[in-house]
């Protein structure tokens, strides 16, 4: 595996999950693989879990790690080719990216949707420049349209907790005060479809995700109806995808918050969220604190999904 930006890069999911559970049983089994190899993690946006879990995974594999917060200590980067650089960016991505590639063997990039241009976001303009110009294997640590390390960790978590072969998994929109990207729900949908679960998406009208991610999922606008009989409830906010409202907030309706009354509609479902989560906007205190909440096991599995991905990238060097 040379790149990891979507479910298509990882091959058969049953093989990937098996490998993940094997790595989880002995996370130091491949500690020789990364010897004298350097991971560079580039953050254009904040992170707690991704930076810690990916660094831990790299250390499990014996790698050295360099972390750069581009907006905190590096030169501000111009990303548009052809501009006269007389503004506040002293350096261009077109030099910065190949320079970064000189100092490492593998590059991870976090670069959220900027909501300036839907075209640029959905063509992964920043991530693709790393793929094109760094000369190194590149993986997404959440880019504009996807967060595959998160979706892989979520898949591992569901496989560990499911009690039927094909559980009912419900992705539900929930309210949030700021406009968030579609990356997490896009990837979650893509991976749940690929896993072949009974997969339902519910959101207010106007929050339809891009059809290539929705795939064959059932879309139900009535949240209560969608939640009935669910085995897993995955809550997440996202902003509108559809034109002309791309990147905008259309609703902050707290009737969509996941509460114990909502969970009572399910088949004693587990609650999931990628974190960070805003309590009592996305989910009530009692639900996230209940013994059906998987938010911490999901975060723990981020180390495992990252280790499988780094292991496969190292094997390609
Ligand atoms: C980000 C998002 O929704 O994409 C990161 C989630 C992992 N969340 C926030 O910015 C709060
Ligand atoms: N879930 C997740 O990616 O968290 P961070 O934004 O803290 O990395």
pLDDT tens column, 149-163: 999 999 999 999 999
* Ligand nearest the Cα atom of residue 183: 1
Sheet of 218-220, strand order? 218-220, 198-202, 168-173, 232-236, 270-272
Name the closest-CA residue to atom 10, ligand 1: 180
**pLDDT tens, residue by residue, 243-287:** 999 999 999 999 999 999 999 999 999 999 999 999 999 999 999
Per-residue pLDDT band for 115 (boundaries 50, 70, 90) equals very high
pLDDT at 11: 97
The CATH code of the domain that includes 278 is 3.40.50.1370
Query: Is there a single domain that holds both residue 74 and residue 134?
Result: yes
State the pLDDT confidence band at 35, using cuts at 50, 70 and 90. very high
Candidate from 46, 49, 304 with most ligand 2 atoms within 8 A of CB, to mutate? 49
How far is the C-alpha of 190 from the C-alpha of 146, rounded, in Å? 9
Cα(181) to centroid(ligand 1), Å: 7
Give the count of domains, the chain. Answer: 2
* 224 and 130 together in one domain: no
What is the domain range of residue 23? 3-146+302-315
Answer yes or no: do 108 and 42 share one domain.
yes
Work out the pLDDT band at 225, boundaries 50, 70, 90: very high
The answer to whether the beta carbons of residues 228 and 274 sit under 8 Å apart is no
CA of 180 to the centre of ligand 1 (A): 6
**With bands split at pLDDT 50, 70 and 90, how would you rate the model's confidence at 41?**
very high
- Mean pLDDT, the chain, rounded, equals 98
* Whether the CB of 235 sits within 6 Å of ligand 1: no
Of 68-82, 136-150, 154-168, minimum mean pLDDT range: 68-82
What pairs with residue 172 in β-bridges? 202, 235
pLDDT at 295: 98
Mean pLDDT of 82-89: 96
The pick from 176, 276, 299, 302 for probing ligand 1's pocket by mutation, whose C-beta has the most ligand atoms within 8 angstroms, reads 276
Best residue among 142, 151, 281, 299 to mutate for probing ligand 1, ranked by most atoms within 8 Å of CB: 142
Band (pLDDT 50/70/90 cuts) for residue 233 is very high
- Residue 68 pairs in a beta bridge with 42
Which residue matches tokens 């399910």? 266
Q: Helices in 103-229 by DSSP H: which ranges?
A: 118-122, 125-133, 148-161, 183-195, 211-214, 223-227
Co-location of 75 and 39 in the same domain: yes
Same domain, 227 and 139: no
- Strand-pair partners of 220: 202
Which bound ligand lies closest to the C-alpha atom of 275?
2
Indicate if 262 and 166 belong to the same structural domain: yes
CA-closest residue to ligand 2 atom 4: 49
Q: What is the pLDDT of residues 163-204, one digit of tens each?
A: 999 999 999 999 999 999 999 999 999 999 999 999 999 999
Residues 108-114, mean pLDDT to the nearest whole number = 98
Identify the band that residue 59 occupies on the pLDDT scale cut at 50, 70 and 90: very high
Peptide bond into 155 cis (omega under 30): no
Residue 299 beta carbon below 6 angstroms from any ligand 1 atom = no
- Does 108 lie in the same domain as 8? yes
User: What is the β-pairing status of strands 138-140 and 106-110?
Assistant: parallel
- pTM attached to this predicted model: 0.98
Q: How confident is the model at residue 293 (pLDDT cuts 50, 70, 90)?
A: very high
In this structure, what DSSP letter does residue 236 have? E
């Amino acid at each position: 595996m040379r790149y990891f930006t979507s479910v298509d890069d990882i091959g058969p999911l049953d093989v990937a999950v098996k490998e993940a559970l094997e790595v989880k049983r002995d996370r130091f089994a491949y500690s020789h693989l990364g010897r004298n190899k350097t991971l560079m993690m580039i953050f254009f946006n904040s992170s707690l879990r991704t930076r810690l879990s990916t660094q831990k995974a790299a250390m499990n594999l014996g790698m050295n790690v360099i972390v750069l917060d581009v907006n905190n200590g590096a030169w501000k980067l111009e990303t548009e080719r052809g501009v006269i650089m007389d503004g506040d960016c002293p350096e261009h991505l077109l030099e910065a990216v190949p320079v970064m590639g000189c100092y490492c063997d593998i590059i991870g990039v976090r670069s959220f949707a900027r909501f300036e241009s839907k075209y640029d976001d959905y063509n992964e303009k920043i991530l693709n420049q790393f793929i094109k110009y760094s000369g190194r294997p590149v993986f997404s640590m959440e880019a504009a349209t996807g967060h595959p390390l998160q979706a892989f960790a979520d898949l591992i978590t569901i496989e560990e907790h499911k009690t039927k072969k094909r559980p009912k998994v419900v992705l539900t929109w929930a309210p949030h005060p700021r406009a968030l990207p579609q990356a997490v729900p896009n990837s979650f949908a893509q991976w749940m479809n690929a896993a072949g679960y009974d997969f339902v998406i519910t959101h207010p009208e106007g929050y339809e995700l891009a059809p290539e991610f929705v795939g064959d999922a059932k879309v139900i606008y009535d949240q209560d109806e969608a939640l009935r009989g669910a085995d897993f409830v995955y809550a997440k906010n996202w902003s509108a995808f559809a034109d002309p409202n791309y990147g905008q907030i259309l609703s902050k309706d707290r009737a969509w918050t996941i509460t114990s009354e909502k969970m009572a509609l399910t088949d004693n479902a587990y609650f999931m969220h990628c974190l960070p989560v805003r309590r009592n906007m996305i989910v009530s205190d009692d639900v996230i604190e209940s013994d059906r909440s998987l938010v911490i096991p999901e975060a723990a599995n981020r180390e495992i999904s990252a280790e499988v991905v780094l292991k496969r990238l190292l094997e390609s060097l």
